[in-house]
Copies of this chain bind each other. A is one copy, B any other.
Amino acid sequence: MPNFYSQKLKKEVVLRDPVHEYIHIEDQVILDILKTKEFQRMRRIKQLGPISYVFPGATHTRFEHNLGVYELTRRICNIFAKKYPSQRSGDGLWDDNNRLLVECAGLLHDIGHGPYSHTFEHLFGTNHEKIGQKIITDPNTEINQVLRSVSPNFPALVASVIAKTYPNPQVVKMISSQADADRMDYLQRDAYFTGVTYGKFDLSRILQEIRPYNEGICFTMAGMHAVEDYIVSRYQMYQQVYFHRVGRSMEVILQHLLERAKIIYQQGNLPVTPSLAKFLANDWTLDDYLKLDDGVMETNFSMWTKVSDPILADLTKRYLFRQPLASICIDQETKNLLPKLKDLIKQAGFDPNYYTDTNSAFDEPYDAYKPSGKNANSQIEIMQDDGQLIELSQLSPLVRSLNGTLQGDERFFFPKIMMSNSDEPQIFDPLYQKFQRYVKNGALRYIRKPKK
- In the complex, the answer to whether B18 meets A195 with C-beta atoms within 8 Å is yes
User: A386: which of B67, B296, B441 is its contact (CB, 8 Å)?
Assistant: B441
User: A295: which of B53, B204, B294 is its contact (CB, 8 Å)?
Assistant: B294
- In the complex, the answer to whether B321 meets A17 with C-beta atoms within 8 Å is no
Given the known A-B contacts A22-B208, A35-B322, A197-B201, are A59 and B59 also in contact in the complex, defined by CB atoms under 8 Å? yes
* A322 vs B315: C-alpha distance when bound (angstroms): 34
- In the complex, the answer to whether A204 meets B18 with C-beta atoms within 8 Å is no
CB neighbors of B among A258-298 (8 A): 273-275, 291, 293-298
Given the known A-B contacts A57-B60, A200-B200, are A302 and B298 also in contact in the complex, defined by CB atoms under 8 Å? no
User: A64: which of B17, B35, B57 is its contact (CB, 8 Å)?
Assistant: B57
Interface 0/1 of A298-333, CB less than 8 Å to B: 110011000000000000010011110000000000
CB neighbors of B among A57-83 (8 A): 57, 59-61, 63-64, 67
Residues of B within 8 A of A18 (CB): 57, 192-195
Give the number of copies in the complex.
4
User: A16: which of B195, B229, B239, B298 is its contact (CB, 8 Å)?
Assistant: B195
Interface 0/1 of A184-195, CB less than 8 Å to B: 000000001111
User: A59: which of B14, B60, B322 is its contact (CB, 8 Å)?
Assistant: B60
CB neighbors of B among A396-421 (8 A): 397-398, 400-402, 405, 407
A149 within 8 A of B: no
Interface size class of A (residues with CB under 8 A): 35 or more
A254 within 8 A of B: no
Residues of B within 8 A of A321 (CB): 35-37, 40
Chain B minimum-CB-distance residue to A17: B195
User: A385: which of B192, B388, B397, B442 is its contact (CB, 8 Å)?
Assistant: B442
Residues of B within 8 A of A370 (CB): none
Q: Taking each of A14, A402, A441, which has the highest tally of chain B beta carbons within 10 Å of its own beta carbon?
A: A441
User: A14: which of B37, B208, B440, B441 is its contact (CB, 8 Å)?
Assistant: B208
* A274 vs B304: C-alpha distance when bound (angstroms): 12
Chain B minimum-CB-distance residue to A294: B295
A376 within 8 A of B: no
A358 within 8 A of B: no
* A323 vs B39: C-alpha distance when bound (angstroms): 13
Chain B minimum-CB-distance residue to A300: B299
- In the complex, the answer to whether A296 meets B302 with C-beta atoms within 8 Å is yes
* A16 vs B14: C-alpha distance when bound (angstroms): 27
A394 within 8 A of B: no
A56 within 8 A of B: yes
A363 within 8 A of B: no
Residues of B within 8 A of A397 (CB): 401-402, 405, 407
- In the complex, the answer to whether B273 meets A299 with C-beta atoms within 8 Å is yes
Residues of B within 8 A of A46 (CB): 59
A147 within 8 A of B: no
Residues of B within 8 A of A204 (CB): 21-22
- Tell me the smallest distance from the CB of A235 to a CB of chain B, in Å: 7
Residues of B within 8 A of A297 (CB): 295
- Tell me the smallest distance from the CB of A299 to a CB of chain B, in Å: 4
A118 within 8 A of B: no
Given the known A-B contacts A296-B299, A441-B384, are A232 and B398 also in contact in the complex, defined by CB atoms under 8 Å? yes
Q: Which 10 A-B pairs have the closest CB atoms?
A: A295-B295, A401-B401, A18-B195, A384-B441, A299-B299, A59-B59, A40-B321, A18-B57, A295-B298, A56-B64
A-B contacts, 18 of them at CB < 8 A, read A15-B56, A16-B194, A16-B196, A18-B192, A19-B57, A19-B195, A40-B321, A221-B442, A232-B398, A235-B398, A273-B303, A291-B302, A295-B296, A296-B298, A384-B441, A385-B440, A385-B442, A398-B398
Q: Which residues of A contact B (CB under 8 A)?
A: 14-19, 21-22, 35-37, 40, 43-44, 46, 52-53, 55-57, 59-61, 63-64, 67, 192-198, 200-202, 204, 208, 221, 225, 228-229, 232, 235-236, 239-240, 273-275, 291, 293-299, 302-303, 317, 320-323, 384-386, 388, 397-398, 400-402, 405, 407, 440-442
